[in-house]
Structure 1
Amino acid sequence: MILQNGISEFFFWNEFGVKYNFIAVNYLIYTTEVIGNIMQSYPVIPIFSTLFLATTIITYFIVKKSGIYIDEIPDFKTKLTISGIYIVLFLVSLAAIPALAKTENSKNVFVNELQSNGIYKFYLAFKNNKLDYFKFYKTLPNKKAYVILKQQLPAISGQNTNQNIKSDSRENHKNVVLITIESYSAEFLKSYGNTHNITPFLDSLERKSLQFTNLYAAGNRTVRGLEAVTLCLPPSAGESIVKREDNKNKFSTGNIFKQKGYTVKFMYGGDAFFDNMKDFYSGNGYEIVDKSNFAPEEISFSNVWGVCDEDMYNKAIKLMNIEAKENRPFFNHIMTVSNHRPFTYPNGKIDIPGDSKSRNGGVKYTDYAMRRFFAMARKQSWFQNTVFVIVADHCASSAGKTQLPLEKYRIPAFIYSPGIKAEKYNKLMSQIDLMPTLFGLLHFDYESKFYGQDVFKSDYKPRAFIATYQDLGMIRDNILTILSPKHQVRQYQLNLVLTKGISPEYQIHYEEKPLNPERTDLVNETISFYQTVSDILKRKAYQK
């Protein structure tokens, strides 16, 4: 077990850049996908063969040296002495490991992670999977928190986020296709500095789209990205709403579309049971299309995560052709799977073999599959009347030298339609703002509970939310404010670190310098956002 844990920690670090955390806890729930992913991603048989051999040799010497305890059974006093020593060592370790953890106070997160105890980190992640904001985080009087929130959302009144959204133009009920791309960092695109030519289609699409160049993912897991574009509220402490028991009948983007007469679907190439997606989306009025809906002849390639993106897009085209005949607009949310370890996909599609298990290959195949999807879509009768929203769910990696490294949250986002002017929107914004901005472009009138805002409105104040399951951050005025358990607050001045040859709007690297004295106004704003979210969810005031 000791050797296997050491090997497991190595591979977990290789993938996530940290010791065991909440991802390890969550993965225990989905053993089929996770074990399958490990089997397809790593040389499991050679590793375990070596592990078995090492274990056998070590066990042999232990047994050989322990022969005296087999030949001559110890008396009661010896047994008691040995047992006492073990009990004392055990109790000392229970106290020593948490005490040593308190010494992990380097400004470099990698240093803290390297010196930490992986199993203890796993225990903490398991223990803190459900965090009560009001117990663990710095708070304000509730009334004051909502007063500060009103400064950010002027249309609200009282202790809620109810707003009446009105447009000065006629509503445009175009079809909408939302594509959330698995693990797609902004730094994969050529404009952000990538030199490997792995996103040729998206590189070309950005010149024809409304591109949001300064958008940040809300979290570092798929469920956080889905939560952000579906519920349009900042991430809350602990587990994502998608995976909570109280995850149904929420005020959602799907709910808005349904009010407007749209059919609403969530499409996923894998088993939607994973990460509780099926329970969440079906509980919020979406029709689910996942791998179970595919006929055998519709699957050309699949791995443990599901069918390849090409197969998912082929299925989506078929379903949208059927929907187009119903004389109702449709909203289809497609979640991709191919850009996920083990990064396997059909051979012969791109210049990187599908069995090379390369991240660059996964990114490039994902881009290739999307190119094919758009090529097919352009031939359909509904294409001219459809808006395509493309955004990553989160970055490929979340690890960095700081608590919340900004470059690990910067993601690409586009809105493309034959009728939408191509331009760049360069102001700071959050993943939760994307769909309210789309509703603004479609001139929707609706009663809203969203924290997310239409970034083209005159009263929009640029800010972004980035978080892990316990560190809750807000970016505003080039300052990052982070709320953490044990009522901790940290602030960092963000100084741009220029990368040569990259346009100003695509610069993503910042130096985070501790801010002293702190900006109290920004601390209070950050608290007001996260505290009111937690309060509203607790009171079940975010129901549709």
Structure 2
Amino acid sequence: MITKKNRYALLFGFGALLLILSFLVRTTLLIWAYPQSGLTISDIPGIYLKGLVYDIGVALFFTLGYSIYLLILPARLNNSVFNKVFTYTAVFLATMILVFSFFAEFTFWGEYSARFDFIAVDYLIYTYEVISNINQSYPLPLLIGGVIIVTALLVWGLNRLGFFRSSFQSKTPFGTRLLITVCLLGIAVLHIFYINNMWAEKSSNRYAQELSKAGVYSFVSAYLNNELAYDKYYLQENEQAAFSLMRSELTEANSTFSQNNNSLLRQITDTATRIAPNVIMVTIESFSADFMERFGNTQRITPVLDSIAKQSVFFTNMYATGTRTVRGMEALSLAVPPTPGQSIVRRKKNESLFTVGYIFKRAGYEPTFFYGGDGYFDNMNKYFGNNGYDIMDRLRHNLVDDHITTVRKNIPDEAVQFENAWGICDEDIYEAVIKSADQKYADGKPFYDFVMTTSNHRPFTYPEKKIDIPSGSSREGAVKYTDYAIGEFIKKAATKPWFKNTVIIFVADHCASSAGKNEIEISKYHIPCMIYNLPSTAPQEVDKMCSQIDLYPTLLNLLHWSYDSKLFGKNVLAADYQPRAMVSTYQKLGYLVPGKFIILSPQQKAECYTWDAQKNEQHPAPMDSSLLKISVANYQTAYTLYKNDGMKQ
């Protein structure tokens, strides 16, 4: 029972409640993560100390507005009905937001092993897909009811302890109120200027970083730092020197660069007979290499892809550039290193870019983007539509004008056998691809298709009785259904007259999880990629380390195309190819070569590690200055070209 009457008693009581709940959430997540985290007992005090600092910041930001209200509220209104109604309502709403955010943190951690980040910000924007996904994955009415009940109990507890009464019945003088408010405001200002999320990221252990953070704080931080200016936050070389180094890195025996030294435009020339098949690229949602038997999985959940791999040009050492679908799309459509912040797919000024689709369009192909969901999500339709691709997706939003400069077609209800929050099942999207190919073949038009699947995504639901794992039960079930649908697609496509002249690529957009004990867990970026049904090419395994951005330079070399290029990717099969890959988070930019790894991060920081691929171990190492220059050159020139329209057609 609170006996001392003070107008700010409720404010401090709410702050204490927030700190206690945050402590319980952090402790639960720590227990959850500890077995696989690589943390030691000595790491735990630092996690809680940093966590307390972030939690205090959240408490301050939650209560500053109320503090100012208490400062200016006249004494005669302090115990009024108006103040009581306002205060009870405000505290209930604030507590409900707090409780909901803590509940959401557990579901977010279960999926990503991270506190809120860019993904959570995206989820706030795309409410239809997210709410539907939550409703299909969890008992939403029970969750909402639980949040309301817990909120009511916590507010009742604050009332039972006398915080409300102490605040309403107090006669705290204005001078004291001013002093308290100024102190709180001063601490908040210090917090803003001296504390940010990068403080938590000083640890080399990714779990220590994430557990130190506060979910609400991280969410706001991600929202405010949606795009990071490379030239402001990261190491740079002299611009001319950076472009010179990149032109040297991308020089091949058959390439001739333009005279503009601050450009990567070059002519690729091939004197062999050109092959011009149709190309269908199937980009598989969240598909880690270690789902496949070829990479050691013993669950037999990818028999089709394991079989196709043996008949393909199979890249066994390819790495995704990021951890989001839009980052994979960026790499597979633009063949550029990831720039800090959001993917180019999500940014402004991303129309009329020099994409892979543009190369195919100049060669007479019709590029089409296929997506089982509504391409409004993640800005996909605007990106692909305004870069020359026709769109085939599942219309959900009633947007008459989507500002798309190409054709958008809807997948009709009668063509759908199964649909969840993220879109139609993979079998249905493949049916749309086959139907489109039939029409284009009949019209005598060569086609290039970018297909994005959705089934391998929570809630992991798919048509019943297709495989021996019940729908919605596990990630393994979604993987096995994804594999099954690919098998059905190949069977049906093989009966078509266009199949013998159609290359089909299977590649992941990113892995199922990027969580690990290191700040960038390299093994969690390892993806499968295979080029299937390639004319006049024997199956082979390509074991050289490479990136998603290298897929099309390699394919176009196999097809003997001559073409203009602004791509950062390389032909992996070239005799002088130097293995390397780029892996990133939204802030950390990694450059990987066999045995070594550079990480560029904000505040002009760079770190060097050794990397043992067999043991999946990273250890700090002395800086390799030549490797650092190459790393910086790749990321700096990519950012500069995008910023200055150098990636335009």
* Aligned counterpart in structure 2 of residue 61 of structure 1, from 157, 162, 165: 157
1:362 aligned counterpart, secondary structure: helix
* Aligned counterpart in structure 2 of residue 513 of structure 1, from 605, 608, 619: 619
Contact 2:200 / 2:213 at 8 angstroms: preserved in 1?
A: no
Unaligned runs of 5+ in 2: 1-96, 396-409
Q: Which residue pairs with 1:112 in the alignment?
A: 209
Q: Does 1:303 align with 2:400?
A: no
Q: Does 1:234 align with 2:351?
A: no
Q: Which residue pairs with 1:529 in the alignment?
A: 634
* Aligned counterpart in structure 2 of residue 497 of structure 1, from 614, 617, 622: 614
1:465 aligned counterpart, secondary structure: strand
After TM superposition, list the pairs within 5 Å mapping 1:219-298 onto structure 2: 219-292=322-395, 293-298=410-415
Q: Post-superposition shift, 1:82? A: 5.3
> What is the CA deviation profile of residues 213-233 of structure 1, one whole-angstrom value per residue up to 9, with x for unaligned ones?
000001111011111111111
Give the Cα separation in 1 of the matches to 2:306 and 2:167.
74
Give the Cα separation in 1 of the matches to 2:137 and 2:505.
31
- Number of corresponding residues: 530
* Aligned counterpart in structure 2 of residue 134 of structure 1, from 231, 236, 250: 231
> What is the CA deviation profile of residues 23-45 of structure 1, one whole-angstrom value per residue up to 9, with x for unaligned ones?
11122211111111111112222
Contact 1:432 / 1:452 at 8 angstroms: preserved in 2?
A: yes
1:367 aligned counterpart, secondary structure: helix
* Aligned counterpart in structure 2 of residue 166 of structure 1, from 255, 269, 285: 269
Q: Post-superposition shift, 1:86? A: 5.5
* Aligned counterpart in structure 1 of residue 104 of structure 2, from 8, 12, 34: 8
* Aligned counterpart in structure 2 of residue 435 of structure 1, from 546, 552, 557: 552
> What is the CA deviation profile of residues 380-434 of structure 1, one whole-angstrom value per residue up to 9, with x for unaligned ones?
0111111011100000111211121111100000001163311100001110010
Q: Post-superposition shift, 1:70? A: 7.8
Q: Post-superposition shift, 1:310? A: 0.6
Q: Which residue pairs with 1:366 in the alignment?
A: 482
Q: Post-superposition shift, 1:539? A: 1.4
Residue identity matched to 1:524 = K
Residue identity matched to 2:320 = A
Give the Cα separation in 2 of the matches to 1:492 and 1:384.
46
Q: Post-superposition shift, 1:73? A: 3.5
Residue identity matched to 2:147 = L
**Bigger shift: 315-324 or 87-96?**
87-96
Give the Cα separation in 2 of the matches to 1:514 and 1:446.
42
Quickly say closer, same or farther: Cα 1:487–1:70, change in 2 above 3 A. Answer: closer
Give the Cα separation in 2 of the matches to 1:537 and 1:249.
12
Residue identity matched to 1:108 = N
Contact 1:495 / 1:512 at 8 angstroms: preserved in 2?
A: yes
Contact 1:347 / 1:355 at 8 angstroms: preserved in 2?
A: no
Q: Which residue pairs with 2:122 in the alignment?
A: 26
Give the Cα separation in 1 of the matches to 2:523 and 2:576.
27
Give the Cα separation in 1 of the matches to 2:338 and 2:453.
22
Q: Does 1:123 align with 2:220?
A: yes
Q: Does 1:539 align with 2:636?
A: no
Q: Which residue pairs with 1:388 in the alignment?
A: 504
Q: Which residue pairs with 2:581 in the alignment?
A: 464
Q: Post-superposition shift, 1:376? A: 0.2
Contact 2:286 / 2:511 at 8 angstroms: preserved in 1?
A: yes
Work out which structure has the larger RCO, using CA pairs closer than 8 Å and 6 or more positions apart in sequence: 1
Q: Does 1:88 align with 2:183?
A: yes
Contact 1:174 / 1:386 at 8 angstroms: preserved in 2?
A: yes
* Aligned counterpart in structure 1 of residue 468 of structure 2, from 347, 351, 359: 351
Identity of counterpart residues, as a percentage?
40
Q: Post-superposition shift, 1:459? A: 3.4
Give the Cα separation in 1 of the matches to 2:175 and 2:527.
60
Give the Cα separation in 2 of the matches to 1:71 and 1:326.
77
**Bigger shift: 103-112 or 86-95?**
86-95
Give the Cα separation in 2 of the matches to 1:257 and 1:57.
61
> What is the CA deviation profile of residues 107-141 of structure 1, one whole-angstrom value per residue up to 9, with x for unaligned ones?
21101211222222222212221111111101011
Contact 1:152 / 1:461 at 8 angstroms: preserved in 2?
A: no
Give the Cα separation in 2 of the matches to 1:330 and 1:103.
48
Give the Cα separation in 1 of the matches to 2:382 and 2:200.
41
Contact 2:318 / 2:547 at 8 angstroms: preserved in 1?
A: yes
Q: Which has the higher helix share?
A: 2
**Structure ID, larger Rg:** 2
Contact 1:384 / 1:418 at 8 angstroms: preserved in 2?
A: no
TM-score (norm: length of structure 2): 0.79
Q: Post-superposition shift, 1:193? A: 1.2
Quickly say closer, same or farther: Cα 1:16–1:86, change in 2 above 3 A. Answer: farther
Residue identity matched to 1:428 = M
Q: Which residue pairs with 2:298 in the alignment?
A: 195
Could you say what the CA RMSD is over the residues aligned between the two structures, in angstroms? 1.9
Contact 2:319 / 2:527 at 8 angstroms: preserved in 1?
A: yes
Unaligned runs of 5+ in 1: 499-509
1:491 aligned counterpart, secondary structure: strand
Give the Cα separation in 2 of the matches to 1:316 and 1:173.
19
Residue identity matched to 2:190 = A
Quickly say closer, same or farther: Cα 1:347–1:444, change in 2 above 3 A. Answer: same
Contact 1:449 / 1:542 at 8 angstroms: preserved in 2?
A: yes
> What is the CA deviation profile of residues 345-365 of structure 1, one whole-angstrom value per residue up to 9, with x for unaligned ones?
111110111132x11111111
Give the Cα separation in 1 of the matches to 2:274 and 2:534.
17
Quickly say closer, same or farther: Cα 1:159–1:57, change in 2 above 3 A. Answer: same
Give the Cα separation in 1 of the matches to 2:567 and 2:475.
35
Q: Post-superposition shift, 1:143? A: 0.9
2:125 aligned counterpart, secondary structure: coil
Give the Cα separation in 1 of the matches to 2:113 and 2:502.
40
Q: Post-superposition shift, 1:80? A: 5.7
**Bigger shift: 332-341 or 54-63?**
54-63
Contact 1:256 / 1:446 at 8 angstroms: preserved in 2?
A: yes
Give the Cα separation in 1 of the matches to 2:326 and 2:152.
42
Quickly say closer, same or farther: Cα 1:351–1:94, change in 2 above 3 A. Answer: farther
> What is the CA deviation profile of residues 316-335 of structure 1, one whole-angstrom value per residue up to 9, with x for unaligned ones?
11111111111221111110
**Bigger shift: 272-281 or 147-156?**
147-156
Q: Does 1:176 align with 2:176?
A: no
Q: Post-superposition shift, 1:88? A: 2.7
Q: Which residue pairs with 2:77 in the alignment?
A: none
Give the Cα separation in 1 of the matches to 2:503 and 2:648.
27
After TM superposition, list the pairs within 5 Å mapping 1:63-78 onto structure 2: 63-66=159-162, 69=165, 73-75=169-171, 77=173
Give the Cα separation in 1 of the matches to 2:178 and 2:164.
17
Contact 2:158 / 2:164 at 8 angstroms: preserved in 1?
A: no
Q: Which residue pairs with 1:50 in the alignment?
A: 146
Q: Post-superposition shift, 1:100? A: 8.5
Give the Cα separation in 2 of the matches to 1:72 and 1:142.
63
Give the Cα separation in 1 of the matches to 2:247 and 2:608.
23
Q: Post-superposition shift, 1:295? A: 2.0
Residue identity matched to 1:460 = Y
Q: Which residue pairs with 1:507 in the alignment?
A: none
1:38 aligned counterpart, secondary structure: helix
Q: Post-superposition shift, 1:273? A: 0.6
